Structure 1
Amino acid sequence: MKISREWATPLTIGVFGLMAVTGGLMFFHLDTRLNKLAHEWLGWAMIAFAIFHVLANWTAFKRYFACSNLARGLVGAFVVVLGFSFVNPTGAQKQGSPPTLALRAVMNAPLATVAPVSGKPVEQLLADLAKAGIVLPHAQATLDSVVNGDRGREGKAMRAIFGRS
């Protein structure tokens, strides 16, 4: 199939519109799960369509950068902004997001300490965890000592502890 402006440009415009709307909804916390899913996964389509668009317009694309200091400056500015987006000036997220911090705290606390937070007696937690295939030797053991960072087992443990029985 030949890369053509006839389809590359409309696809780029369409997926940009979708990304703009879903991104705006996400920014204002008005999105649904499907909005977020579409934004994340169709972002890959946007990358592909943008590449097709550039290829279909390659001659004009090269001319922008050969003849225009403004174009080079703008692209350079966005490259710099992208670079700075990876810098964490405050260190606030150094340890991870709040949910990650909470998960880490639960995983590293003795089960007897976690039980009151779950609203279940420690004996019930030990039984629920055993049913989920996670056996702790005693109530002072930590979940991390038996799941060893296995994300799947961490999820099972969280469901066993905080899910309804």
Structure 2
Amino acid sequence: MNIDRRWLTPITAGAFLLSAVTGVLIFFHLDIGLNKLAHEWLSWLLVGAVVLHVTLNFGALRRHLSSRLGAGLLGLCMLVLALSFLSLGEKQEPPFMASIHALADTPITTLAQVARREPEDVREILRGEGLHPESDAQTLGELAGPNPHRQMLLLNKLLGQH
């Protein structure tokens, strides 16, 4: 395989920079705009670049891994990766989810007040999203089901500009 370092090294470095910066922003909940989308999708560029980099430098990598230090560090990273699949109890939700749950458990009449809409407008929007509200006493959770992502999308529609 003929891989040219003149383009592979800058792509690897650039993809690492993109992944590292967006990852740090996401970690500290400072991501805006397309940060999360870029991190999730363009990190594949990093994966591909690293695979090519390893392919190009396989001999040097093999020498590093033949030392106790190299093998130990790789083994430690693999152990941490394996441990990352373990659960330490109940999954912690982001703090804003309490608001989502509270709004999803609110009757349509109250939800309409929060959204500064008439209850009929709320019911119409929900019908447009494939739901079937029959009473203003029903909640978004009852209508949309327990999926918080779906509830958030519906709340965004209801609370958005009108």
TM-score exceeds 0.5: yes
State the distance in 2 between where 1:92 and 1:2 align.
46
Offset from partner CA, 1:50-75 (integer Å, 9 cap, x none): 01000111122122222x11111111
- State whether residues 119 and 136 of structure 2, in contact with CA within 8 Å, keep that contact through their aligned partners in structure 1: yes
Map 1:33-112 → 2, pairs under 5 A: 33-66=33-66, 68-89=67-88, 91=90, 93=92, 96-112=93-109
State the distance in 2 between where 1:72 and 1:84 align.
18
Give the corresponding residue for 1:126: 123
State the distance in 1 between where 2:156 and 2:30 align.
27
Aligned-pair RMSD on alpha carbons?
3.4
1:147 aligns with 2:144: yes
Q: 1:164 to 1:17 in 2, by over 3 A?
A: closer
Offset from partner CA, 1:92-117 (integer Å, 9 cap, x none): 51xx4344454344334432443443
Map 1:21-36 → 2, pairs under 5 A: 21-27=21-27, 31-36=31-36
Q: Once the 2 structures are TM-superposed, how far is the Cα of residue 88 of structure 1 from its aligned partner?
A: 4.7
* Structure 2 residue matching 1:48: 3-state secondary structure: helix
- State whether residues 125 and 160 of structure 1, in contact with CA within 8 Å, keep that contact through their aligned partners in structure 2: no
Q: Once the 2 structures are TM-superposed, how far is the Cα of residue 46 of structure 1 from its aligned partner?
A: 0.3
Q: Any stretches of 5+ residues in structure 2 without a counterpart?
A: none
Number of positions where the alignment pairs a residue of Structure 1 with one of Structure 2: 162
- State whether residues 100 and 152 of structure 2, in contact with CA within 8 Å, keep that contact through their aligned partners in structure 1: no
